[in-house]
Structure 1
Amino acid sequence: MLRALLVLVVLALWGAPVAAQDRAALARQFQGFLASEIWPQARAEGVPRAIFEAALAGARPDLDLPGLALPGTPGPARQHQAEFSAPAAYFRRAAVEGAAATGRRMAARHAVALAAAERRTGVPGHIVLAIWGRESAYGAAAIPHDLFRVLATRAFLDPRAAYYRGELIAALKVLARGPVPRAAMKSSWAGAMGQPQFMPSSYLAHAADGDGDGRADIWTSAADTIASIARYLADHGWVAGRDWGYEVTLPAGVSCTLEGPDQGRPLAAWEAMGIARVSGRPFPAAERRGPMFLMLPAGRRGPAFLVTPNFFVLKDYNTSDLYALFVGHVGDRIAFGAGAFRAPWAPLDRISRGQIAALQRGLVARGHDVGGVDGLPGFKTRRAIGRWQEGEGLAPTCFPDRALAAALAR
């Protein structure tokens, strides 16, 4: 009955101005959902009633959040066919240089906390700083949303409602721990909390007290933010003593289809193919202890990298190849004064995610594994393109363009 009423209310409201009485009706339905579905689960997991009330009493759904799945509509609200953002856009000079310059100042200001975190976890301070800068501009970015309203709305109306229910329960447990007052528990529109942008479940698993006050306050404490990011990476398998990766030259005879975390080789094997650092310097001896992996975020149309398992630990923080590359690159600029990538990003076709998805469907129909039809050119899609090109007698580029999309859509 509750869900049936919700359908009627939301269908009446969405797409038209919402009168005050209609908002009140929707708020009552939302409160009924919290009382009948969320509270019993919270209680079963040990959340005190007073904590539940402090977090959610009188809460109203936030219909301005992106991506909500409204009953009776064909898909998430306010979605559009976005153009895919080329990799070069992720590395705008101002963004990279600004993050690195601020990171160097933060390295001096928080040297003690960074050194302590590195001793405990083996994670270098410059990597921690680069994540902190990317996630919240070292704490300067506005984090405007009410955590509990965001998570409760998404538990109610998001396509991944079950996931957000779990995060809402985790957030209630965080509130019960009391790291900061309830009013200070701000988040992004997706429910990521504080300066390191942890989801509540990640807070419970990985947040750390860096300043010794007995709390893990990732909203206002720089030391706790630093300690928490380092612990997160260590808990996800950061290998102390190894770097994240290196820009390399990729000889024309080395196939771009060798990319991927499932195609690791010892460094000596890559060197035997003629791959070398763009700097001309030898690889550190520590990198000979384990596998390395080819990573080509723009296929043959951009810089090439050999990365270590630590690169994929960075991807555990955010699943994007470009995110992990940005963090590693900014970290290098903070610690070593590294400059821009040596190889340029070649101009790429303007292509939409819908066109990439059509290309992926064409590859799947031809027996290739693209890792899922999502409109994003991840490593499986990139190398599937290269394998198809090689099979057609074409020079492999391992990156989508309009001509490929048209050819594969046939």
Structure 2
Amino acid sequence: MGKIVLALAAILLAVIAARAASIEEQYRGWLARDLWPAAQARGISQTTFNQALGATSPNLKLPDLVLPGQSASSQRQQHQAEFRAPSAYFQHVGGVVSGGRSRAQRLASVLTAIEQRFGVPRGIVLAIWGRESGFGRADIPHDAFEVLATKAFLSTRKDMFREEVLAALEMAEKHGIDPRAMRSSWAGAMGQPQFLPSSYLKYAVDGDGDGRADIWNSEADTLASIANYLAQHGWVRGRDWGFEVVVPQEISCALEGPDQGRRIADWAAMGIRRVGGKAFPAHELSGEGYLMMPAGRYGPAFIVTPNFYRLKDYNESDLYALFVGHAGDRIMYGDISFQAEWHAVSGIGRSGIAAMQRALEGMGYDVGGADGLAGFKTRRSIGNWQERQGKIATCFPDAELARQLR
């Protein structure tokens, strides 16, 4: 029996090795026949191309790859993360806050210059820096060209990563960045602000006056580049990102969303008030605000400003933007906690949420796509359905609701 097992293992290893060799051969052909002509057309030299990609091989351990013989749908299902309750997202906010406060003191002059130049508060840029790379302390383990080229060749989003690897080649050719110094995450995001190469070309700036934008080693360049990213996406100088509020039961949670904005003064006139008895700042009252309830009726509610959606431009997640805004406030103003509690929600996975979304789509609701994520379109669709059924609207998925929508 032992000999049979060993023989089978040897056969399996041989099959795996042959498959890897075949993929490597296809990859080499793709580099020569597809990527090199596109790079050459963008002014990339053969020397730079070879330095960046000549020694790379496909990294088959990366997620979201479609290997020969596999379907894209099976890979998306394999690597789909489980849904987590919103409260879990804030478990490590304290580390970002404490790290941000210590750096706010040490980098005070740099941050003052950045605020004057870009109009983005220091708490916000510090919170993003801490969230993205632990203030530059996080391990960024991968060779960016290996990641980007592998994904351009094999991933579920080949076209996007093809543009990113070409942008990375421009960074090497036109900005003089050593290809081997370009370290990235498994998704190809680089440096302390975790920019994709296309974002580097558009938004990375020199913050320390040495004539180059070094997002791997320079704290000033990192902070200035984050602020420039937000400013270029439309950050409104002088406005806050948002305020925690109390939403009376008679006001529908289905009013949530960036397409249902109204003046903050109008939200206040409806009966929505800030927590702790605070008034909305006078300069905010005439500006547009939006209801945002990331856990529906099961957690804190907010009136957010257009700047909240600039944070979402950095990472397309309500919870990411809320994390950054909340951490930024705590860095700048002290230990401000959410006043409302995050309540437990009965367990449901992303597949269950996706099934609910498909059911709602079948009834004509716009849930923003059946992706298994409870975004604002899904939350308010749930609320609208609940109200039409004569139920108390919670605007959030749970196991019982999933059962009802089957």
Residues 131-210 of structure 1: pairs in structure 2 closer than 5 A: 131-178=128-175, 180-210=177-207
Does residue 108 of structure 2 align to residue 108 of structure 1? no
Match 1:69 to one of 46, 61, 66: 66
Once the two structures are TM-superposed, the CA of residue 18 in structure 1 deviates from its matched residue by 5.8
Shift of 1:36: 0.5
8 A Cα contact 2:214 2:221, kept in partner: yes
Aligned equivalents of 1:100, 1:352: Cα separation in 2: 30
Superposed displacement of residue 22, structure 1: 4.9
Q: Secondary structure at the match of 1:305?
A: strand
Matched, 1:258 2:255: yes
Q: Which of 316, 326, 337 does residue 323 from structure 2 map onto? A: 326
> Does the residue aligned with 2:78 lie in a helix, a strand or coil?
coil
- Measure the CA separation in 1 of the matches of 2:274 and 2:22: 63
Tell me, yes or no, if structure 1 residue 50 matches structure 2 residue 54. no
Task: Give SS of 1:279's match.
Answer: helix
Aligned equivalents of 2:35, 2:386: Cα separation in 1:
51
Asked whether the 8 Å contact 1:356–1:376 carries over to 2, the reply is: yes
Matching residue of 1:87: 86
Do 2:236 and 2:306's aligned partners in 1 also have CA atoms closer than 8 Å?
yes
CA distance in 1 between partners of 2:232 and 2:178 (Å): 27
Task: Indicate the residue corresponding to 1:341 in structure 2.
Answer: 338
Unaligned runs of at least 5 residues, structure 2: 1-11
Q: Aligned partners of 1:127, 1:347: CA distance in 2, in Å?
A: 29
Aligned positions of 1:262-301 closer than 5 A: 262-301=259-298
The answer to whether the 8 Å contact 2:348/2:399 transfers is yes
Contact 1:179 1:216 in 2 (8 A): no
* Preserved CA contact (<8 Å) 1:351 1:401: yes
Q: Secondary structure at the match of 2:276?
A: coil
Once residues 218 and 127 of structure 1 are traced to their aligned partners in structure 2, the CA distance between those partners, rounded to angstroms, is 17
The structure-2 alpha-carbon separation of the partners of 1:23 and 1:362, relative to structure 1 and needing over 3 Å to count, comes to closer
Contact 1:83 1:350 (8 Å CA) reproduced: no
Cα distance in 2, alignment partners of residues 26 and 71 from structure 1: 8
Counterparts of 1:289 and 1:17, CA distance in 2 = 69
RMSD: 1.5
Task: Give, as a single letter, the amino acid of the residue that structure 2 aligns with 1:406.
Answer: R
1:394/1:237 Cα in 2 relative to 1: closer, same or farther (>3 Å)? same
Which amino acid is the alignment partner of residue 84 of structure 1? F
Give 1:81 deviation, angstroms: 5.8
The 1:16/1:159 distance shift into structure 2, 3 A limit, reads: farther
Asked whether the 8 Å contact 1:193–1:200 carries over to 2, the reply is yes
Question: CA offsets per residue over residues 139-177 of structure 1, 9 Å max, x none?
Answer: 000000000000000000011100100000000001123
Aligned to 1:388: 385
Per the alignment, do residues 256 and 16 of structure 1 end up closer, same or farther by CA in structure 2, a change over 3 Å counting? Answer: farther
1-structure distance, mates of 2:79, 2:387 = 34
Q: Structure 1: how far apart are the matches of 2:155 and 2:80?
A: 19
CA distance in 2, matches of 1:343, 1:408: 28
Provide the residue aligned with 1:367 in structure 2.
364
* 1:40 corresponding residue in structure 2: 37
Deviations 1:251-304 (A, max 9, x none): 111100000000001011101111111021211122124200000000000000
Spell out, residue by residue over 1:37-75, the C-alpha distance to the aligned partner (whole angstroms, 9 max, x if none). 001001111112111111000210000001111232232
Structure 2: which amino acid aligns with 1:89? A
Amino acid of the structure 1 residue aligned with 2:389: E
Cross-structure match for 2:355: 358
Give every structure 1 segment of 4 or more consecutive aligned residues whose post-TM-superposition deviation is greater than 6 Å. none
Shift of residue 181, structure 1, vs aligned partner: 2.5
| Equivalent residues of 2:171, 2:177 under 8 A apart | no
Indicate the residue corresponding to 1:5 in structure 2.
none
1:239-254 correspondence runs (5 A): 239-254=236-251
Instruction: Report the 3-state secondary structure (helix = DSSP H, G, I; strand = E; otherwise coil) of the residue aligned with 2:248.
Output: coil
Which residue of 116, 125, 129 maps to 1:128?
125
User: How far apart are residue 82 of structure 1 and its match?
Assistant: 4.2
Tell me the amino acid that sits aligned with residue 183 of structure 1. Answer: R
**Secondary structure, counterpart of 1:342 in structure 2:** coil
Return the match for 2:216 from 204, 215, 219.
219
Percent of aligned pairs sharing the same letter: 59
* Deviation by residue 1:297-350 (Cα, 9 ceiling, x = unmatched): 000000000000000000000000000000000000000003220000011111
Contact 2:64 2:79 in 1 (8 A): no
**Is 2:292–2:304's contact at 8 Å kept on the other side of the alignment?**
yes
Q: What is the distance in 1 between the residues matched to 2:14 and 2:321?
A: 42
Displacement after TM superposition at 1:78 (Å): 7.9
Q: Tell me which moved more, 30-39 or 285-294.
A: 285-294
Aligned pairs, how many? Answer: 393
Mark the CA change 1:212 to 1:61 in structure 2 (over 3 Å): closer, same or farther: same
- 1:361-410 per-residue CA deviation (whole Å, 9 max, x = no partner) reads 1101111110111000000000000000000000000000111111111x
Residue range with higher mean Cα deviation, 184-193 or 43-52? 43-52
Q: Which of 114, 118, 122 is the aligned partner of 1:117?
A: 114
Structure 1 unpaired stretches of 5+: 1-14
Q: Which amino acid aligns with 1:90?
A: Y
Change (3 A) 1:264 1:179: farther
Contact 1:209 1:215 in 2 (8 A): yes
Q: What letter is aligned with 1:253?
A: E
- Residue 4 of structure 1 corresponds to none
From 394, 402, 406, the counterpart of 1:405 = 402
Q: SS in structure 2 opposite 1:248?
A: strand
